Amino acid sequence: MPEIGFEYFPSPESNDDAENIAHELLYCDAAVEQWPQFRRELEESGRKSRERCEAIERNAIDILREARNALASALETGDATLMPSGPLLDRLTHAHAYLALHADIEALAGYRRMICPDLDYSFQRDFELAVWEADWNSGDRPPSEVTREATRHYRHEHRLDGVYNTSKRLDPVATAGELDPMTSLGELDPMFPMSKLRPLSAIQLAFVREGLRSAGKRAGLKKEHADFIVRMALDDAKQKDDPAAWRAIRDRKSGQLMPEIEELLETVRQQ
């Protein structure tokens, strides 16, 4: 019997950007289309309350729908600039993390590394609380910035919880060591499982690489020269690796090419 929710698609085995992007589109589309029926089943069975389903729809499904529509438009028109980037890509990462709270808790450490790369595993429970509270899905601030700030806030707020007893003495139970961190949320309902989806960081990089190639082509570069932009930006390629491509890129960087590249790379820096 397939996992409750929808039959997800096998993860691409290659590192082909187009395949990874198509895979994310299929995932988002399946989740969005099958959510209404799945929500009815959750509410009728009592496994999830109406309020919790509304939160899932607001903080995950609606974002997957927005990403699906952006991806579909980009693929239909051949315009890579329409692909999710910046704030939408950040929210998409958070939407997957939010679903993981309900369906794939083992993936949550990976999402912490994507969203808060400067915070180690000792922040994990605070990160999960920050994703759960979903302040990242309101306001105009970058979602990752909001989540990092909230994670640090929860860490500070609860750092002494249970350490001292009512006699103001160290509690031996509280100081005996932590339980297995993977038991912290318990076993939750399977829903939109992520275990067979490529790590979202691979999807993010696919978006960025396609955006870089598209910017190069719009600037009039040949395909191989546009590909070299990707190597320079993400693989640390140097002038000596392809002098002709390097000169072609240099000759066009005074126009719109460099601002577009900087904007795309800022997306990488924010993740």
Residue 243 pLDDT more than 60? yes
Helices 200-218 & 223-234 angle (0-180, nearest 10): 130
pLDDT of 54 reads 95
- Cα–Cα distance, 191 to 250 (Å, whole number): 49
- Tell whether 91 and 191 lie within a shared domain: yes
- The pLDDT-based confidence of 155 (bands split at 50, 70, 90) is confident
Q: Give the pTM.
A: 0.67
Residue 237 shares a structural domain with residue 103: no
Q: Which domain holds residue 242?
A: 206-270
Q: Identify whether 225 is part of a domain.
A: yes
Phi, psi angles (nearest 5°) of residue 170: -60, 130
Q: pLDDT at residue 267 above 80?
A: no
End position of a domain, from candidates 141, 166, 198 = 198
Taking CA atoms, 173 is separated from 121, 156, 176, 178, in Å, by 21, 21, 5, 10
State yes or no: pLDDT of 234 exceeds 80.
no
Would you say residue 89 has pLDDT above 90? Answer: no
Which domain-ending residue is among 148, 166, 198? 198
Question: What total of structural domains would you count in the chain?
Answer: 2
Residue 248's contacts (CB-CB under 8 Å, 6 or more residues apart) are 221, 222, 225
Q: Does residue 2 lie within any of the structural domains?
A: no
User: What 3-state class would DSSP assign to 93?
Assistant: helix
* Max Cα distance, the chain (Å): 75
Residue 260 lies in a domain: yes
pLDDT in tens, 36-73: 999 998 899 988 899 999 999 999 999 999 999 998 88
Q: Quote the CA–CA distance of 30 and 136 in Å, as a whole number.
A: 24
